[in-house]
Amino acid sequence: MTSTERRATRGTSRAIIDIGSNTVRLVIYGGPARAPNVLHNEKVTARLGKGVAETGLLGERASNAVLAALARYRVLLQLKGVERVDVVATAAVRDATNGAAFLEKVAKLGFAPRLLSGEEEAVTSAHGVLGAFPGASGVVGDLGGGSLELVDIDGDTCRHGVSMPLGTLRLAKMRATGDRLFAQAVAKALKKAAWAAEPGTTLYLVGGSLRAFARFAMVQLEWPIDDPHGFVLDAAEGLRIARNLARRKPESLRPLAGISTARMNSLPDTAALLAVLIRRLKPGKLVFSAWGLREGLLYEDMPAGTRGQDPLVAGMSAFVQEQGISPQIGAMVAGWTVAAAPPNGIERRERLRLAATMLCLASATVEPNLRGDIAREWALRKRWIGAATAERAILAVAMLAHTGRLEVPPALAALIPAHALREAQAWGLATRLCRRFSTCAPQGLSGSRLLVDGGRLVLEVQPTLAPLVNDGVERDLRALAAHLGLKAQVA
């Protein structure tokens, strides 16, 4: 059984088909409800909204391309045995005069399409952001092919959701009038929607075009992480990059891994719109989210208890289980190593320590010569919902320390405050000690403990477990103690 198949068996799979203005996409989700895995993801770039922007109608060629894609999706879903399928249509179908007739054709394929209003689209995308960033507060901006949605969020509430005809398929024509008139047109749309934001707020950005902008910015800044989810950019820096990019010709842009040619070609237009939004809304920072409309649909269906779970811990627990590590053992090891993490009253730090502990244990199942490499692959490149950029870096530092490496690449160290870097290294060293001493067996954990007594780091061991203390254990204990500024002792 493949890892994908194992993930599918751990949770009921569900599919979402998003009929957008630019693409029609099928995503099948499985795994933990709070941090679902993508089991299948494919799209067709039909540019359904292009005809709407030009004539007010869904073009025949684009409509046929969407219907052909939907017919394929229908068979795929039957083959995979996915019964829960949600089909939603957004701006292009909503704005087209022949949108209702198109949805009738979709229904004949065996689907039950739901047409989202502009406000529903905005709020659903905002729910996706709230699912990815628990407690998020600010403004969500979701840029699609046919429209731009804006909505205020505060913790778990959304308000003032609006949809404006500022999608990427419309921007080239708008920009042809010149920068000044383009900015005025965007300002007019904001005014018509009665939209304003509190200066200094956080602007959460959703949509493939905005994630492409984030990837461009990450390359410009030589960012050590290449996943745009959770990428944070100071608004002033974002405005500088957006202004420069808006002046570029698409053909002058170098290809970016994972970004389609169509996205690259529309990147200057996306940057031009973003520059106007930054000037008008005056945010303090930009946060890019991979979760949006589709994940918002998932979030809206989550029971309150599931919503309350930490997405990082939920996702990490499912991941390490695939590597043969029990999340319960991970929690026990985190409890055993707590002496290496002096309490500071920050709950968020503790859930990150638990995640780092589980990831370190999982890495020990991999060949030793690969463990240094997977610190980058697992911590920095895998998409962890609920982990900010700095937290990903902390996970990587803990994994490196778990292999005995305390030298951190400068680009990575620059993302983390010095005290947090040392803490992360202590987590990795402590997990390494625990694993070498007890192999993380429950009896070994319950028959010993690690504690700080004055200026000493003490490993207390029951007499029956004393033979487990060898040179390697004592060496790891000394390394951890030295890192914490303590003396090592076995008792």
Q: What are 178-214's pLDDT values in tens digits?
A: 999 999 999 999 999 888 888 999 999 999 999 999 9
- Per DSSP, what are the bridge partners of residue 17? 26, 87
Residue 370 has pLDDT above 90, yes or no: no
Shared-domain flag, residues 132 and 240: yes
d(CA 446, CA 423): 24
Shared-domain flag, residues 449 and 483: yes
Same domain, 142 and 30: no
Residue 158 shares a structural domain with residue 290: yes
Question: Of 294, 324, 346, at which residue does a domain stop?
Answer: 294
In this structure, is residue 304 part of a structural domain? Answer: no
- The upper half-sphere exposure of residue 71, i.e. CA atoms within 13 Å in the direction of its Cβ, equals 8
Q: Residue 440 to residues 360, 425, 435, 452: CA-CA distances in angstroms?
A: 12, 19, 5, 20
Characterize 257-293 residue by residue with b for buried, 16 or more Cβ atoms within 10 angstroms of its Cβ, and e for exposed: eebeebbbebbbbbbbbbbbbbebbebebbbbbbbbb
When divided into structural domains, the chain yields a total of 3
Q: Is residue 300 part of a domain?
A: no
What SS3 class is residue 16?
strand
Q: Is residue 299 part of a domain?
A: no
pLDDT band at 347 (very low <50, low <70, confident <90, very high): low
- Tens of pLDDT, residues 248-273: 999 999 988 888 888 899 999 999 99
Chain-centre distance for alpha carbon 88: 22
84 domain residue, yes or no: yes
Q: List the CATH number of the domain containing 15.
A: 3.30.420.40
CATH number of the domain where residue 184 is located: 3.30.420.150
Q: Which domain holds residue 41?
A: 3-115
Give 101-149 pLDDT, tens digit per residue: 999 999 999 999 999 999 999 999 999 999 999 999 999 999 999 999 9
Beta strands in 118-187 (DSSP E): 137-143, 148-154, 157-164
Mean pLDDT of the chain, nearest integer: 92
Q: Does some domain include residue 176?
A: yes
Position of tokens 């001493």? Answer: 437
Are 407 and 425 part of one and the same domain?
Answer: yes
Residues 277 and 352 in one domain: no
pTM: 0.91
Degrees (nearest 5) of the Cα angle 284, 299, 329?
Answer: 95
Helices (DSSP H) in 56-98: which residue ranges? 60-80, 91-95
